[in-house]
Amino acid sequence: MAGNLLGAILAFSYFRVVDPELASASGPVGVKDIAISVAVFAALVAIGYPLGRRWISPLIAHQDSAGAIEAADAPLVRRRALQLPYMFACLTLVGWIMAGIIWGVLWPTLVNGRLDARLSLRVFFGITGVAGSVATVFSFLATEHYWRRVMPFFFPRGDVSEVSGAMRLPVRLRLLGIFLLISVIPLAVLGTLAYNRAQALLGAAPARAAALVEGLGPLILFIVAVGMLAAIGLALFAANSVADPLRRIEEAMAAVGKGDLDTGCAVVANDEIGAVAEGFNRMLDGLRERERIRETFGRYVTREIRDEILAGRVSFDGRLEEVTVLFSDLRDFTPWVERTEPRTVVHDLNEYFTEMEAAVRAHGGLVLQYIGDEIEAVFGAPVRVADHADRALAAALEMRDRLRHLNARRAEDGKPPLRNGIGIHTGTVLAGSIGSAERLTYALVGDAVNLASRIQGLNKELGTDILVSEATRSQLAGGTALEALPAVRVKGKSVEVSVYRAA
């Protein structure tokens, strides 16, 4: 309304004061003329305001209800949210067309009793073609500028491209139209003015010709001044309509560059820049999803192993690897389950596994699977390390220590202690992704895996908690006291196996 009022004042000033030909034809300006002009402007506003209010009523209802809107009405609300600047521009243009008809056709006919086609055409062109076009574009840009603050309310996910039936004004067309408006219209007005004055000078008396030439200066000054103000205003709005969304995207990209994935870019326009912002948000969603996968994967393996795998430096194709395998098993598990409430069993098992896996991960191991109360872990795969035997023994000793602290907490709660046995063996295995077409798992296949499991089982017979094979002991760097035990025969082996107890 402010822009239209300013345009109406300038149009009135030009046709009733600045332009001498039109001013003389209409007579001197009086209070009556001003009152009638104000009344016409108010009447046009009174017609346009209810129409605009009715058109945006779904948006107001949606905003007042804080987004609680029927699903059937949602497409209408979203479409009108995108079309609101166009609607205000259309209302403005219709108002200026009506003003051109009123002042260029109806009013001269009522006042003079006849219609001067040439003067009426000039008035209609000046009001509707010049002032109306500038006011319409200004209304569109100003409405769009302020409406962009509200757009995220209607599009919290920034999915403006999913709205069907909404008008789309490309950036190129927008800038081209404004450029033509601020360049062609002033030239057209000045050209028309020069032509009319030249026509009026032909055959005019010397006094009349002098008056026409003297009046040309104020006209040119008025047109240039108003044209410059309109051009500057439209250029600023046009520049901001492109620069502001790009600045937001730039700030969001800078935040992402610093590692902030919780940021986002509001999509405030249904044009190429809005499509860029929407694409940026989709890319950001992909980065968040990748980070969630990365963090979730990090719960299963150590961060070092995770990073190696995600970086593509680890192959999951089957290959022979020398590794150290660790098996751990709870003692007297079945009787404990039979006399304990199921929820308590699940809770205690989860607490036990959490402590044991923490020890494995702390030394660069990977827990391959939980089999009932048994843990299978590997050191030296999928990421190769030279000291996998030392890491496995260190993890076993930490598992013993963590179990001791866990049993101390269980004793405070009146729960019986847990006991486990750990077997460690080093050997060559086939490591890779194994499974069906629908589900794969990283697994180890080979005699070394079976022997590690058998050594773990010897703890029951020998009354120990940590047993190490000769193959593992031979690769240890030292520092851990190991007690040699008599060689034993394990299931599946024709020869006896030398084992050592960790002190």
Tell me if 488 sits within 8 A of 460, measured CB to CB.
no
Instruction: Please tell me whether residues 149 and 42 are part of one structural domain.
Output: yes
Q: Which residue has better confidence, 465 or 187?
A: 465
Alpha-carbon distances of 5 from 42, 202, 248, 355, rounded to whole Å:
10, 37, 33, 75
Would you say residue 159 lies in a domain?
Answer: yes
Q: What's the average model confidence in pLDDT over 447-459?
A: 94
Do 344 and 436 sit in the same domain of this protein?
yes
Closest CA to 334 of 348, 344, 345: 345
Tell me, yes or no, whether 381 and 480 share the same domain: yes
Is 446 within a domain? Answer: yes
pLDDT at 264 over 70: yes
| Residue where one domain finishes, among candidates 229, 257, 285 | 257
d(C-alpha 239, C-alpha 175), whole Å: 9
The CATH number linked to 384 is 3.30.70.1230
| pLDDT score for 236 | 84
Cis bond before residue 186 (omega within 30° of 0): no
Please check the confidence at residue 17 and state whether its pLDDT lies above 50. Answer: yes
Residue that terminates a domain, selected from 257, 273, 305 = 257
Q: Is residue 413 part of a domain?
A: yes
In terms of domains, do 143 and 44 share one?
A: yes
pLDDT, tens digit, 9 for 90 and up, residues 160-183: 888 887 788 888 888 888 887 777
Has residue 424 got a pLDDT over 60? Answer: yes
Digit-coded pLDDT (tens) for 66-105: 544 444 457 888 888 888 999 999 999 999 999 989 988 8
- Exposure on the CB side of residue 65, measured as CA atoms within 13 A: 13
For residue 287, tell me if it sits in a domain: no
What is the Cα–Cα distance from 485 to 48, expressed in whole angstroms?
99
Q: What distance in Å separates the CA atoms of residue 13 and residue 17, rounded to the nearest whole number?
A: 5
Per-residue pLDDT, 348: 95
**Are residues 445 and 336 part of one domain?**
yes
Q: DSSP letters along 275-309, please?
A: HHHHHHHHHHHHHHHHHHHHHHHTTTS-HHHHHHH
Phi-psi region of 479 (alpha: psi -120 to 50; beta: other; left: phi over 0): left
Domain boundary among 257, 273, 290: 257
- For the chain, the farthest-separated pair of C-alpha atoms sits apart, in whole angstroms, at 136
Q: Residues 160, 11: one domain?
A: yes
Same-domain status, 399 and 489: yes
Structural domain harbouring 456: 317-502
In a domain, 269, yes or no: no
- Tell me the pLDDT tens digit for each residue of 223-256: 778 778 878 888 888 888 888 888 888 888 898 8
Instruction: Confirm whether 304 is domain-assigned.
Output: no
Closest by Cα among 14, 16, 36 to 28: 16
* pLDDT for the residue 476: 93
Q: How far apart are CA 385 and CA 186, in angstroms?
A: 78
Rounded distance between C-alpha atoms, residue 403 and residue 398, angstroms? 8
* 263 part of a folded domain: no
Residues 23 and 151 in one domain: yes
Same domain, 453 and 367: yes
Residues 242 and 358 occupy one common structural domain? no
Helix (H) or strand (E) holding 326: strand 319-330
User: Two tokens at 101?
Assistant: 């008809």
Based on the fold, state whether residues 12 and 101 are members of the same structural domain.
Answer: yes
Average of per-residue pLDDT across 37-59: 89
Residue 442 contacts residue 368 (beta carbons within 8 Å): yes
E strand or H helix that includes residue 58: helix 57-64
Whether 99 is covered by a domain: the verdict is yes
**CA angle (285 as vertex; 282, 291 as ends), nearest 5:** 145
Q: Apex CA 340: angle with CA 338 and CA 346, to 5°?
A: 105
Instruction: Summarize pLDDT for 293-306 with one digit per residue, the tens.
Output: 667 665 655 565 66
State the pLDDT confidence band at 23, using cuts at 50, 70 and 90.
Answer: low
Q: How many domains does the chain have?
A: 2
Kindly state whether residues 363 and 488 are assigned to the same domain.
yes
- Quick one: average pLDDT of 381-406? 94
Q: What is the mean pLDDT of residues 455-469?
A: 94
Tell me how far apart the alpha carbons of residues 194 and 177 are, in angstroms, rounded to a whole number: 25
